[in-house]
Amino acid sequence: MQTANKVSQQQLTGASGQPVTCLRFSGDISSASKDAVVGTYQALDKASHKQILLDFKGVEYLNSSGIALVIQVLMEASKSGQTIAICGLTPHFTKVFTMVGITKYATLLPDEAAAVAAL
């Protein structure tokens, strides 16, 4: 019943000239997405991936269990000195992420272009 979630990875360059690792998610982000969200993040070498962009543009369904996975990534990134930015959220989920306080630990940007310009 759950739509398969997919994640793809791309290296971008931020406006500062520093590399940005973009993780693009699609499908559902829920409790069944731990491998896609946390697993993909954990597979990145922490020393060489200092700026990470989580792109939710292709996500069709997101629930509180999926948001908890994002918080888990933020926790690990914070301990590792990595910067996390988030883009591609709908206005509704921008509101929800703000309500739960994620904006204290990650910058929300409307799209990839805005994120690259800010990083």
Partner 1 sequence: MTVTSGSKVEVRLPSRLGFEKVAMSTAAGMAKLMGFSEDRIEDLKTAVAEACINAMEHGNQMNASIPVSVVLSMKPNELEVKVMDNGSGMEAPAPSPDIDRKMSGEEDARGMGMFLIQALVDEVEWVSGTGTEEQSFVRLVIRMNKENE
**Rule CB under 8 A: which residues touch partner 1?**
1-2, 28, 30-32, 61, 63-65, 67-69, 71-72, 74-75, 78, 90-92, 96, 99-102, 104-105
Q: Tokens at residue 38, please? A: 């946390």
Q: Which residues pair with 7 in a beta bridge?
A: 25
For residues 10 and 64, which CB has a smaller minimum distance to partner 1 in the complex? 64
Name the minimum Å distance from CB 50 to partner 1. Answer: 19
Name the minimum Å distance from CB 13 to partner 1. Answer: 28
For residues 42 and 63, which CB has a smaller minimum distance to partner 1 in the complex? 63
Helix, strand counts (H, E) of the chain: 5, 5
Name the minimum Å distance from CB 53 to partner 1. Answer: 19
For residues 47 and 99, which CB has a smaller minimum distance to partner 1 in the complex? 99
**Distance from C-alpha of 76 to C-alpha of 91, rounded to nearest angstrom:** 26
Q: Which residues pair with 109 in a beta bridge?
A: 87
**Distance from C-alpha of 42 to C-alpha of 45, rounded to nearest angstrom:** 8
